């Protein structure tokens, strides 16, 4: 009888013991970021950890905000986590907090949520362009939605619904508001695909004045990951000649090989010289940045040999700074080179910073002489193509180009200012949610315009029309060739 009573008590206790409807710890493989709730206490712990890491790592956290404003933003985030949230809801709260810093390198990329429940996830890569509050398809997986179509709904929800939420997940550099809005159209894709795990989705769109509804079978995420619509192009350099005009397109400053990148640039500018090009356009649209030294290498072809490019680099010494990210071999090379040149040059200043205690904030002057292997300089007319996805090193290049008044800038505002951007982000993982958060470890301040917060604006503002999109017209190239 006693055993029976104990058994009944155990049965009665089981529901309360297993009734917890939220997760206190997240495993990526079995967590749905849209439906599963994470416990409030776990979220608040992660917020506190994020704040601690920000103050430990970030070199210039109050550059575009104030201590009271950032503290208030943090308290609001904690209050919003007073109830259980999904990962999608929590990451919106996190990004609202991070957006107060106005640092395009310190944020959470919503596409990271696709790695949760990834084995059962399907994904339709596509890209939209916003024209007068309407959304047109620029490209899609296997042309499943015709190019130039006006998207009306994705799984019964209008694109404007996703656009408003995409703004919360789009980083901003300083006060480049227009670039943030343009960048958000790229974020819409991830939000649309996150809303369901189902293989098939329904889209409504207008094409050739017909309103159509279509069911699309989405590919597996692992297959979609290989699509250019998802990842974009690798770091490619292409050169196209149009009689006495030429276009140099650089898709990224983050190649697999720095040497190959430089060699390709050397070859291109040899062709430019042999082709007697009189007017050159440099296309940095959708170039989200990369290595500053490669940005400088491109600069070296546009100004006289030995021209200085001076910037102050602001660092904060921590376990996450650029020096702690070096491999053992790289650290050995750095120490050997620094000791050889000490106390002269920027590397000597970096050596002093490297030996300073954790928490030290220092400014290192970097003023290299711009040069290239063949000491070649293009002296002809120059133009620059940019848009809201021209970020980081590309934005710094655009600021330099504008300050130098090297030529016309064509397109839409870049994601940066004339001062310079933040740089060299590291990724930290929050303990309970496993969310990867990027945090800057460096700030670039241009000596030519050290305090300006002005966005990098084009001298010729160009935005496509719906007809341009339908025809697949490159309006930047058309303008360049006709002027």
Query: Residue 466 contacts by C-beta under 8 Å, 6 or more apart in sequence?
Result: 131, 134, 136, 148, 150
Predicted local confidence at residue 231, as pLDDT: 53
| Percent helix, percent strand, percent coil in the chain, to nearest 5 | 40, 25, 40
Per-residue pLDDT of the chain (483 residues; tens, 9 = 90+): 445 444 444 444 444 344 458 999 888 888 999 999 999 999 999 999 999 999 999 999 999 999 999 999 999 999 999 999 999 999 999 999 999 999 999 999 998 998 898 888 899 999 999 998 899 999 999 899 999 999 999 999 999 999 999 999 999 999 999 999 999 999 999 999 998 888 999 999 999 999 999 999 999 988 887 766 555 556 789 999 999 999 999 999 999 899 999 999 999 999 999 999 999 999 999 999 999 999 999 999 999 999 999 999 999 999 999 888 888 898 899 889 988 888 887 888 888 888 999 999 999 899 999 999 999 999 999 999 999 999 999 999 999 999 999 999 999 999 999 999 999 999 999 999 999 999 999 999 998 776 678 899 999 999 999 999 999 999 999 999 999
Q: Where are the beta strands (DSSP E) in 142-296?
A: 150-154, 200-207, 210-217, 237-242, 245-250, 279-283
The residue among 93, 57, 87 whose CA lies nearest residue 73 is 93
The residue among 30, 60, 68, 41 whose CA lies nearest residue 451 is 60
Distance CA 422, CA 232 (A): 22
Distance CA 146, CA 138 (A): 9
Distance CA 121, CA 192 (A): 13
Predicted local confidence at residue 18, as pLDDT: 45
Instruction: Read off the pTM.
Output: 0.90
Predicted local confidence at residue 230, as pLDDT: 54
SS3 189: helix
CA 130 vs CA 149, 150, 367, 409, 463: distances in Å? 12, 10, 40, 21, 10
Predicted local confidence at residue 11, as pLDDT: 40
Q: What is the CATH topology of the domain spanning 118-231?
A: Pdz3 Domain (2.30.42)
Query: Residue 14 contacts by C-beta under 8 Å, 6 or more apart in sequence?
Result: none
Identical topology for domains 118-231 and 237-482: no
Termini Cα distance of the chain:
97
Distance CA 411, CA 385 (A): 6
CA 187 vs CA 164, 181, 369, 480: distances in Å? 11, 10, 38, 29
φ/ψ (deg, to 5) at 339 = -65, -30
Distance CA 283, CA 424 (A): 23
Distance of CA 190 to the CA centre of its chain: 14
Residue 426, both tokens: 């590291």
Predicted local confidence at residue 228, as pLDDT: 61
237-482 carries CATH number 3.90.226.10: yes
Element (H, E) at 316: strand 311-316
Predicted local confidence at residue 234, as pLDDT: 62
Predicted local confidence at residue 14, as pLDDT: 42
The residue among 183, 58, 172, 89 whose CA lies nearest residue 129 is 183
Q: Which residues pair with 307 in a beta bridge?
A: 370
Q: Which residues pair with 38 in a beta bridge?
A: 23, 85
**Radius of gyration, CA atoms only, the chain:** 25
Q: Verify cis geometry, omega within 30 degrees of 0, for the bond prior to 283.
A: no
Q: What are the structural domain ranges in the chain?
A: 118-231, 237-482
The residue among 453, 446, 386, 390 whose CA lies nearest residue 417 is 453
DSSP 14-82: HHHHT---SBSS--GGG--TTT-EE-HHHHHHHHHHHHHHHHHH-S-TTSSS-HHHHHHHHHHHHHHTT
Residue 120, both tokens: 């059962």
CA 144 vs CA 113, 216, 248: distances in Å? 24, 7, 31
């Amino acid at each position: 009888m006693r055993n029976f009573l104990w058994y009944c008590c155990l049965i009665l206790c089981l529901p309360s013991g297993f009734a917890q409807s939220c997760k206190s710890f997240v495993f990526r493989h079995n967590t749905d970021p849209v439906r599963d709730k994470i416990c409030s206490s776990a979220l608040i712990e992660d917020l506190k950890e994020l704040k601690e890491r920000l103050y430990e790592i970030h070199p210039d956290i109050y550059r575009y905000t104030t201590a009271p404003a950032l503290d208030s933003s943090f308290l609001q985030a904690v209050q919003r986590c007073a109830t259980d949230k999904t990962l999608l809801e929590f990451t919106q709260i996190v990004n609202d907090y991070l957006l107060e810093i106005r640092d395009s390198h310190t944020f959470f990329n919503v596409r990271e949520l696709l790695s949760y429940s990834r084995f059962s996830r399907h994904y339709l890569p596509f890209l939209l362009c916003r024209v007068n509050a309407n959304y047109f398809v620029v490209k899609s997986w296997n042309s499943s939605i015709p190019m130039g179509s006006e998207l009306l709904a994705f799984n019964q929800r209008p694109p404007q619904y996703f656009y408003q939420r995409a703004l919360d997940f789009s980083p901003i550099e300083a006060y480049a508001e227009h670039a943030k809005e343009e960048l958000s159209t790229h974020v819409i894709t991830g939000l649309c695909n996150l809303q369901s795990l189902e293989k098939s989705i329904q889209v409504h769109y207008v094409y050739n004045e017909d309103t159509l509804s279509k069911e699309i079978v989405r590919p597996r995420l692992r297959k979609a990951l290989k699509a250019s619509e998802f990842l974009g192009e690798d770091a490619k350099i292409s050169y196209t000649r149009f009689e006495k005009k030429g276009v140099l397109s650089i898709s990224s400053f983050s190649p697999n090989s720095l040497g190959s990148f430089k060699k390709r640039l050397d070859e291109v500018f040899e062709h430019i010289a042999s082709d007697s090009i009189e007017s050159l356009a440099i296309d940095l649209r959708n170039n989200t940045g990369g290595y500053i030294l490669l940005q400088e290498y491109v600069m070296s072809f546009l100004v006289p040999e030995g021209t200085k490019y001076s910037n102050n680099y602001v660092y904060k010494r921590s376990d996450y700074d650029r020096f702690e990210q070096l491999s053992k071999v790289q650290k050995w090379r750095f120490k050997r080179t620094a000791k050889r040149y000490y106390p002269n040059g920027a590397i000597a200043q970096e050596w002093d910073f490297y030996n300073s205690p954790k928490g030290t904030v220092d400014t290192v002057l970097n003023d290299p002489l711009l040069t290239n292997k063949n000491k070649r300089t293009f002296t002809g007319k120059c133009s620059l193509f940019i848009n809201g996805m021209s970020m980081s090193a590309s934005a710094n290049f655009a600021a330099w180009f504008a300050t130098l008044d090297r030529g016309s800038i064509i397109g839409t505002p870049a994601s940066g200012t004339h001062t310079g951007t933040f740089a060299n982000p590291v990724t930290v993982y929050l303990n309970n949610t496993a969310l990867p958060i990027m945090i800057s470890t460096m700030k670039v301040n241009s000596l030519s315009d050290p305090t300006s917060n002005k966005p990098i604006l084009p001298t010729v503002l160009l935005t496509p029309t719906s007809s341009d999109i339908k025809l697949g017209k490159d309006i930047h190239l058309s303008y360049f060739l006709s002027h």
